[in-house]
Amino acid sequence: MLAHDIDVCQYYGVMRKKIAEIEDCCPVLREPLDPEEASRLADAMRVLADPARLRLLSLIAAGPGGEACVCTLVDPMSLSQPTVSHHLSVLHEAGLLDRERRGRWVYYRVRPERLEPIREALAPPPPVPLSA
Amino acid sequence: MLAHDIDVCQYYGVMRKKIAEIEDCCPVLREPLDPEEASRLADAMRVLADPARLRLLSLIAAGPGGEACVCTLVDPMSLSQPTVSHHLSVLHEAGLLDRERRGRWVYYRVRPERLEPIREALAPPPPVPLSA
């Protein structure tokens, strides 16, 4: 394995860990985030803040049976297969996609529950109590 | 006005427009996003995918009366005042903060309703209908 690959794997390892770690963390408008929480949440949001990755999530969710194969994703994305595969790997390593090999192709499925911690982190503040 | 300032203003103009434009747009897991929708949503998410900006939102929301002055935000952020002011401007131009000048200071207040379009865009898919 080349040094580059090791770097990439370590990067993905960190990313996956950080996405998993924002569960029950980081309610932005409900308590002051400490620097470490803010960093974790920003890392998780950075996985999503990319037009190609958002489109891939969307195309997979809209696929027959809620799944899609890289073989059907390259054409609508207008990107090379290696680039599409790279974005799918980022999403998978971040925990946002399940994948399963069938024959020569890998099929992907969105894990919608993994978006919930991000939605929760952006939830509105608690209502202000009425003064007596 | 220097060319740099004009560039920055044009950039902020685009950013503000894009945040406003994701309302009623881009339900990632409910329909396939087209490239333009994905780009708008990614731009909006990129405003938030930054640890300093997430912390600022959080510190302002937790301030007395739900507001804060840049004068009280510099110390906890451990950043220079120009850097804090820059991030506050990005958040304000993106529509996520209201601001009001009082005497020599500017006070900021979070607009929680502006986070809702992002939360909506990440909502889970509709339930699968039971087959007969």
Smallest CA–CA distance, residue B42 to chain A, in Å, is: 4
Sign (positive or negative) of CA dihedral B67, B70, B71, B76: positive
**Distance between CA atoms of A110 and A54, rounded to whole angstroms?**
11
Q: How do residues A48-84 score in pLDDT, each as one tens digit?
A: 999 999 999 999 999 999 999 999 999 999 999 999 9
Q: Which of B62, B78, B122 sits opposite A115 (nearest CB)?
A: B122
Let me know the angle formed at the C-alpha of B47 by B12 and B80, rounded to the nearest 5 degrees.
85
Q: Is the ipTM of this complex over 0.85?
A: no
A62 three-class SS: coil
* Residue pair B114/B95 in contact by the 8 Å Cβ criterion: yes
* pLDDT band, very low/low/confident/very high, at B14 (cuts 50, 70, 90): low
Q: List the one residue out of B18, B29, B19 whose CA is nearest residue B116.
A: B19
In the sheet with A97-102, reading across from the earlier edge strand, the strands are: A67-69, A105-110, A97-102
Query: Strand locations in A3-96, DSSP E?
Result: 67-69
Q: Is A41 on the interface with B (CB under 8 A)?
A: yes
Smallest CA–CA distance, residue A128 to chain B, in Å, is: 10
Q: How do residues A10-54 score in pLDDT, each as one tens digit?
A: 555 555 555 656 777 889 999 999 999 999 999 999 999 999 999
The model's pTM is: 0.84
Percent with pLDDT over 70 in chain B: 83
For the record, the structure tokens of A117 come out as 């911690």
Smallest CA–CA distance, residue B26 to chain A, in Å, is: 9
> Residue B32: its chain A contacts at CB < 8 A?
55, 58-59, 62, 76
Q: Which of A46, A54, A66 sits opposite B28 (nearest CB)?
A: A54
Determine which of B19, B40, B54 to mutate to test the interface with A (most A C-beta atoms within 10 Å): B54
